Chain A
Amino acid sequence: MVLKAEPFVVNLGPVHPSTHGVFRLRATLDGEVVVNIEPVIGYLHRGIEKLAEGRTYTQNIPFTDRLDYLASMSNNLAYCLAVEKLAGITVPERGDYLRVIMAELQRLASHLIAVGAFLNDCGAFMTPILYMLREREKILDHFEMVSGQRLTYAYMRIGGVSQDIPEEFLPALGKFVAGMPGYIDEYDGLIKENEIFLARTKGVGILPKDLAINISASGPVLRASGVKWDIRKADPYSVYDRFEFDIPTGTAGDCYDRYRVRVEEMRQSVRILQQAMAQIPKGKVRTEIPLTFRPPVGEAYGHVEAPKGELGFYLVSDGSIAPYRFHCRAPSLINLTALRDMMIGWKVADAIIIFGSIDICMGEVDR
């Protein structure tokens, strides 16, 4: 008797527990093995790039919040940097320091979610993500203190930040930063050497160095493949050139390295926060800009090292109050292009954790 087995198509998503939003993956399976995949995106498309062409430069800041809603502060920062580059505005020193503090706190929050959700994909029953949400809550409390919001902050403005921090902020932050390395050690101690976790992630979903560069991947995905590339060092913006920190890199480019890179980056973020808190000067937090703000005709590209990779905004100004073109270089979308190369040939369970290890946010992919 000859057993006849055919590959069959399974729809993973758009409604599925581990697609991190509304991502849809049409996977062709041969038994348990993935033989082909076809990502379908666009379920969260809101036309933000087009909408932004009808709003003033300042009105566009809340739009950027809604791109990668797990890292709104970084989005604010990238956009504001682009506009400032376009109009030649300088930011007061205190404003720059506040921006760095917020961006690094945001990196911590985003990586906590990324690692927690990744462990959830590996099948750990909610425990890691709940531990990590505990610390993320504390970070959100700090954001609430400065901006009044917990998810979409719109805290940064063109020329600085919207308002100075309340006086209880820095002591509270100091307490948090002092405790955070202990929490990171706690997670890492539970996960790093776990035999099952190693068995699931080591050597799984390898993204080779040359391929990572060719698809212009960025962020932890690129660094896990062994490329030492971080915009904070390669093209320092804001006041990042004044801080001392390392760029953690992986060697194999597998899911385990991507996890390691994120955890190490969290440690580096804590280091930056400590230095920024010690150095922060007094003074103004914002350069005033005219109410009807019209940048000169021209174009500018401002980019930052967002938690998920290089986040850039390309703005073209025709001299009016609204941008003529507003383009967002979303790291999630570009990192996602490696999905097919990483996934094919692995089992369904691996496909899920490979997808989780890229750490995408659909708000940013679909825009």
Chain B
Amino acid sequence: MAIAGPITYYGTLPQVPPDWPGGFWGHWGTFVGIILVFVLTLVMGFIWVERRGIARFQARVGPNRVGPFGLLQPVADAIKVLLKEDIIPASGDKVVHWLAPVVAFVPVLLIFAVVPFWDGALLADLNIGILYVVAVSSLTTIGIFMAGWGSNNKYSLLGAMRAIAQVVSYEIPLVLSLVAVVLLAGSLSLNDIVRAQNIPFILLQPLGFFIFFLAACAEINRTPFDLLEAESEIVAGFHTEYSGMKFALFYLVEYAEAVAISAIIATLFLSGWRGPLLPPFLWFLLKVFAVFFLIFWVRSTIPRLRVDQVMAFAWKFLLPLAFLNLLITGVQVIVWQGVLPWPVIFVNLAIMVVLIVGWSSFFRLGGGRVEV
């Protein structure tokens, strides 16, 4: 059941998904190519964007020496890192240490398989799209734990322990806020979810977006939840013992995860490739960039939470709110038979404000020691 509100923001939908020449294999080959080349280039570009952007936030210039505006800086870094010596700790578990970056990196690329860049332009339009994203993105954590374990380093192990605890906790509010989106769209396929967004779900689901964004930041270990690579505490966390290309892979994972989660948020809440005037593909990129900008804006602004506060925040704040959000959305979907009228936007915004303000006065992080 798609939602057709009185307001259609983006005009009529393009009806027919592009029919790919060459059938299954042509389609498959094209998209594997796009994901491998395009996504990796995008990640490199976003690394540059973040470094320049954060530099502006911090009253400095940022990389501007290599190429125009320092655009080739990621390339220079990549070449440097390739030439570095690859060090494996003598007492480390060599196989696990070697495998860890690969195990961490592959799932991030796999996420892009179900992200629609255009109407129907995606590698696999799985009818369980969101479930696939949730399942695959969690695999990265295994790679991180392998890195922490295989390094035989106390900082790494501390980082890995934190990673497991954090990701397992934040998965629950993340999935619960996803369920509300699925209720509205009536489908698990990412492409169908985009097609259902005549009104972007960020307007119908402001609280859901809020919960999903915070939980996703914790999933990809971005500030204020960057505990597992907390520089001031445990040096570099799980990748302390990595050098050369293996370190570069972890660095790529960090940014590829950020790009992937930005793409998922853009698809689920910001109506993905839909938009007026510009080609859908460009709309998609713009939205991904907007979310990514928000992520590194947060990173350059606020300090880090402590490990027990992070856990308390997931279980005592996000989880109850996610349940309430799910309940409210469920009631709304039943009342309006899946077709939510646009005034609901204001109702939901009001509900979000009341819930967040109410809950924060009930649950406070301040005051020092928070027992979990």
Chain A residues close to B by CB (< 8 Å):
8, 10, 16-18, 32, 119-127, 130-131, 134, 194-200, 202-204, 254, 347-350, 352, 356
Contacts and interface: CB of A to CB of B under 8 A. Distances in A.
Nearest to B306: A349
Contacts of A194: 302-303
Given A123-B304, A124-B303, A200-B303, 18 more contacts: A17-B235, A18-B232, A18-B233, A32-B307, A119-B303, A120-B232, A125-B300, A126-B54, A127-B54, A195-B365, A196-B303, A199-B370, A204-B368, A254-B368, A348-B233, A349-B227, A349-B233, A350-B306
A196 B368 contact: no
A200 B232 contact: no
A41 B334 CA distance: 68
B301 A127 contact: yes
Contact of B305 (A121, A196, A204, A356): A196
25 contacts: A10-B154, A17-B231, A17-B232, A17-B235, A18-B232, A122-B304, A123-B223, A123-B230, A123-B303, A125-B54, A134-B59, A196-B304, A196-B305, A199-B306, A200-B304, A200-B305, A202-B368, A347-B306, A347-B307, A347-B308, A349-B227, A349-B233, A349-B306, A349-B307, A356-B232
Given A196-B224, A348-B234, A203 B367 contact: yes
Nearest to A201: B368
Given A17-B232, A18-B232, A349-B233, A199 B366 contact: yes
Nearest to A18: B232
Nearest to A206: B368
A236 B309 CA distance: 45
A196 B302 CA distance: 7
In the A-B complex, the 4 residue pairs with the closest CB atoms = A123-B304, A203-B368, A199-B365, A18-B232
Interface of B: 54, 57-60, 154-155, 158, 223-224, 226-227, 230-235, 299-309, 365-370
B306 A200 contact: yes
B154 A8 contact: yes
A131 B369 CA distance: 29
B365 A349 contact: no
B233 A196 contact: no
A130 B305 contact: no
A127 B58 contact: yes
A250 B231 CA distance: 29
Nearest to A121: B232
B49 to A, nearest CB: 16
Contacts of B58: 126-127, 130-131
Nearest to B304: A123
A158 B301 CA distance: 46
A123 B232 contact: yes
Contacts of B234: 348
Contacts of A126: 54, 58, 300
Contacts of B59: 130-131, 134
Contacts of A124: 301-304
Contacts of A348: 158, 233-234
A203 to B, nearest CB: 3
Given A200-B303, A347-B308, A349-B230, A123 B368 contact: no
A356 B88 CA distance: 32
A119 B233 CA distance: 13
Contacts of A32: 158, 307-308
Contacts of A125: 54, 223, 299-300
Contacts of A119: 303
